[in-house]
Amino acid sequence: MPNAILDPTGQADRTSAGPAFTLARRRPGLRGARVGLLVNTKRNADLLLEEVGRLLMKEQGAGSVMARTKLAFAQPVTEDMLTELTTGCDVVVTGVGDCGSCSASAVTDGIMLEGRGIPAAVICSDAFGASADAIASLRGAPGYRYLTTPHPVAVLTPDEVRDRARQLVGDIVSLLASGGASDGTADGEAAA
Amino acid sequence: MTQAASLDPASLDPDAAQRAIEYCYEQGWSDGLPLVPATRPLVDQFLAHTSRDPGEVIGTLEQVGRGCTVYLAAVNAAMAGCRPEYFPVVLAAFGALMAERAARGGGWQSTSGPAPLIVVNGPVRAELGFNATGGVFGPGFRANATVARAIGLIVRNAFGIHPHVLEQATQGVPGRWSICIAENEEESPWEPFSVGGGVPAGTSAVSATLLRTSEFVDNRHSHHPEDVLWDLADTISRTGAQIFKEASAGVVLCPEHAQMFAGAGYSRAAVQEWLMARCGRLPADLRRAGKGDLSKISPEDEARQAAAGAGEISRTMMSSRQLPVIVAGARNAAISMVVRVFGEWSGTAVPVEVPAEVTAGAPAGARAGTGTR
């Protein structure tokens, strides 16, 4: 009997991961909601999220906006900042996943927020879907829904960034509030 | 794995080996080149070359929730084609890389697709056959080639970072997973690079960082060290490499350039200081490349300097840590390499473990490598 070929990934004999991922319960709408903006420091992310926050207040009746800026875009949000967001906000919008590492970590942030009961809308550039999808699977949330905006974002003028925010805001509302989520994800199950 | 000289070709089964290699490809473990199928007896030989526990976690990538143990590093090193006695060097190289913020952060996933630069110092170079002279950037030398490849396989397999998936390199870097150089201490006029990284001369050590590329500077006819320094400064200062106000670089000097500098009285630190004072661009150069916001010179200062007829460059390096100087290659032509460090390099050197006792079954090369290094 020949020797077995060893697996170099450490994943082959891994037993199934922890409990199944569930989305945070959605509110009926965003009226009065405390909106958190998690800015990842990629160019134009601050302006994009700021404009999204403004539109959510103006058009959806959101109660307040609180912006926080990540210290390292390549890494998931720190525990301190996560706690601050989960205690101070009802929903969070984060982005922009506009590079290899930050697209993955933005999706990770969204999944961590959902795990703590906070609906999250993650915005990635559409060039990084593969990275975003892969990290969602790795984090136990295959099919986790995030929003995309056409690549590139970094070169846009301020007016173009505000246009992007305008284009995204409807989907953001759909993703964060059950009034707009018609595919059953609002009941707490991750889309497949 | 046994010494090549002891292998009897008639006893080998190349057809079985080919099937095993194909199996490894099918599992998605390969970087594109054939892998050595790792088995328990082979990996045990690797583990016999370290006192560290196979279960010890030697690196985690928090953002992907994956980690690497000594055991997984051994499996990947074996697959990369390392000899078991190289394993302490692989561990030191991986330790040195994971000590760097750039590698712990988003480096492996980055659109820039950076390549590790691994620098080996000390007696282990000769003991294990690391090339420090001609063709030091490769290929052709098993120790250099496979230690670098082992790091790439660890990133792929233990961390799960695959191209087009979590690895998002736009174009990548020529030589990724193959840049492992030994310093040419014998022909360097200065102390070993690892001494600056905290390990005394005569002790084997590995230093490592990530590179965005390497660029040659061919200057073999100048008699004046400053001519060569200007030539290096020009390559270091190109605008395409600059994305922040400050930018690390590095210089791998050939022995001829290093000896020329030393002969004119330049210490390593003096070379660094000369270059640091002159590397950078005029604000106008940066503006022309659409990078005017990277200038550290205010418009007022720029105007004042222009009025005085003396425009100053916006310097990109303010600390010698941003400009490591290494000596490697053959003393046969005056060609040096500018290496483009990704982020910042701490320069930390990690000592290569010398196992207290290598198992009796280990090959002769490994036994020769034990004791005082």
- Express as a percent the part of chain B with pLDDT over 90: 89
- B241 has a chain A CB within 8 A of its CB: no
**DSSP string covering B217-253:** EE--S---HHHHHHHHHHHHT-GGG--SSS---EEEE
Average pLDDT over residues A76-83: 95
Cβ <8 Å between B40 and A2: no
Higher pLDDT, B365 or B242: B242
* Cα–chain center distance at B130: 13
- Using the predicted structure, report yes or no on whether residue B244 has a pLDDT greater than 90: yes
- Using the predicted structure, report yes or no on whether residue B197 has a pLDDT greater than 70: yes
Residue type, A77: V
Q: Find the residue in A nearest to B157 (Cα).
A: A9
Considering only CB atoms, B40 lies closest to which of A3, A75, A102, namely: A3
Min mean pLDDT across A30-44, A166-180, B45-59, B223-237 is at A166-180
Helices (H), chain A: 45-60, 79-88, 100-115, 129-138, 158-176
* CA B313-B277-B211 angle, 5° bins: 90
Residues of A in contact with B69 (CB under 8 A): 10
How far is Cα B77 from Cα A141, in angstroms, rounded to an integer?
32
- A102 has a chain B CB within 8 A of its CB: yes
**What does the pLDDT look like over B280-292, one tens digit per residue?**
999 999 999 999 9
Residues of A in contact with B109 (CB under 8 A): 74, 99-101, 104, 131
- Tell me what pLDDT residue B356 has: 66
Secondary structure element (H or E) that encloses residue B270, with its range: helix B268-278
- Using the predicted structure, report yes or no on whether residue B38 has a pLDDT greater than 80: yes
CB B324 within 8 Å of CB B250 = yes
* Cα–chain center distance at B142: 16
Q: Find the residue in B nearest to A71 (Cα).
A: B105
- Tell me what pLDDT residue B7 has: 86
- Using the predicted structure, report yes or no on whether residue A182 has a pLDDT greater than 70: no
To test the contact with chain A by mutation, choose from B1, B58, B64 the residue with the greatest count of A C-beta atoms within 10 A, namely B64
How far is Cα B139 from Cα B268, in angstroms, rounded to an integer?
28
Residue type, B313: I
For residue B115, the SS3 value is strand
Cβ <8 Å between A103 and B75: no
- Using the predicted structure, report yes or no on whether residue B70 has a pLDDT greater than 50: yes
- Tell me what pLDDT residue A53 has: 97
How far is Cα A57 from Cα B284, in angstroms, rounded to an integer?
43
How far is Cα B89 from Cα B87, in angstroms, rounded to an integer?
5
Residue type, B225: P
How far is Cα B166 from Cα A108, in angstroms, rounded to an integer?
13
Residues of A in contact with B76 (CB under 8 A): 8
How far is Cα B207 from Cα B201, in angstroms, rounded to an integer?
14
Average pLDDT over residues B332-339: 97
DSSP lists the bridge partners of residue B349 as B207
Q: Find the residue in B nearest to A75 (Cα).
A: B63
Tell the residue number behind the tokens 């405390």, with chain if given: A34
Cβ <8 Å between B63 and A4: no
Read off the tokens for B140.
């052709």
Number of H-type helices and E-type strands within chain A: 5, 5
- A192 has a chain B CB within 8 A of its CB: no
- Tell me what pLDDT residue A18 has: 62
Considering only CB atoms, B167 lies closest to which of A74, A100, A108, namely: A100
- A99 has a chain B CB within 8 A of its CB: yes
Secondary structure element (H or E) that encloses residue B151, with its range: helix B142-153
- A178 has a chain B CB within 8 A of its CB: no
Higher pLDDT, A14 or B70: B70
- B210 has a chain A CB within 8 A of its CB: no
Tell the residue number behind the tokens 């110092």, with chain if given: B121
How far is Cα A179 from Cα A182, in angstroms, rounded to an integer?
8
**DSSP string covering B319-347:** SGGGS-EEE-S-TTS-EEEEEEESS----
Residues of B in contact with A100 (CB under 8 A): 106, 109-111, 166-169
**What does the pLDDT look like over A124-176, one tens digit per residue?**
999 999 999 999 998 999 999 999 999 999 999 999 999 999 999 999 999 99
- Tell me what pLDDT residue B63 has: 84
- Tell me what pLDDT residue A171 has: 96
To test the contact with chain A by mutation, choose from B29, B70, B166 the residue with the greatest count of A C-beta atoms within 10 A, namely B166
- Tell me what pLDDT residue B153 has: 98
Which DSSP category does B163 fall into? B
**Does the ipTM surpass 0.85?**
yes
- Tell me what pLDDT residue A178 has: 85
Cβ <8 Å between A8 and B29: yes
B33 to each of B45, B135, B211, B224, B248, how far by Cα in Å?
23, 21, 22, 45, 32
CB pairs under 8 A between A and B: 102
Q: For residue A119, give the nearest of A174, A159, A66 by alpha carbon.
A: A174
Q: Find the residue in B nearest to A128 (Cα).
A: B168
- Tell me what pLDDT residue B212 has: 96
pTM of the model: 0.91
**What does the pLDDT look like over B81-110, one tens digit per residue?**
999 999 999 999 999 999 999 898 889 999
Q: Taking the C-alpha atoms of A75, A76, A81 and A85 in order, what is their torsion angle to the nearest 10 degrees?
A: 150
For residue A93, the SS3 value is strand
For residue A150, the SS3 value is coil
Residues of B in contact with A7 (CB under 8 A): 27, 75
For residue B113, the SS3 value is coil
Q: Find the residue in A nearest to B155 (Cα).
A: A9
- Tell me what pLDDT residue A20 has: 80
- Tell me what pLDDT residue B4 has: 54
- Tell me what pLDDT residue A1 has: 86
- B314 has a chain A CB within 8 A of its CB: no
* CA A167-A172-A174 angle, 5° bins: 115
Q: How far is A121 from chain B (nearest CA, A)?
A: 19
Cβ <8 Å between B24 and A108: no
To test the contact with chain B by mutation, choose from A1, A3, A5 the residue with the greatest count of B C-beta atoms within 10 A, namely A5
To test the contact with chain B by mutation, choose from A101, A131, A133, A135 the residue with the greatest count of B C-beta atoms within 10 A, namely A101
Residues of B in contact with A11 (CB under 8 A): 160
Average pLDDT over chain A, rounded to an integer: 90
Q: For residue B94, give the nearest of B2, B177, B8, B192 by alpha carbon.
A: B177
Q: In residues, how long is chain A? A: 192
Q: How far is B104 from chain A (nearest CA, A)?
A: 9
- Using the predicted structure, report yes or no on whether residue A107 has a pLDDT greater than 80: yes
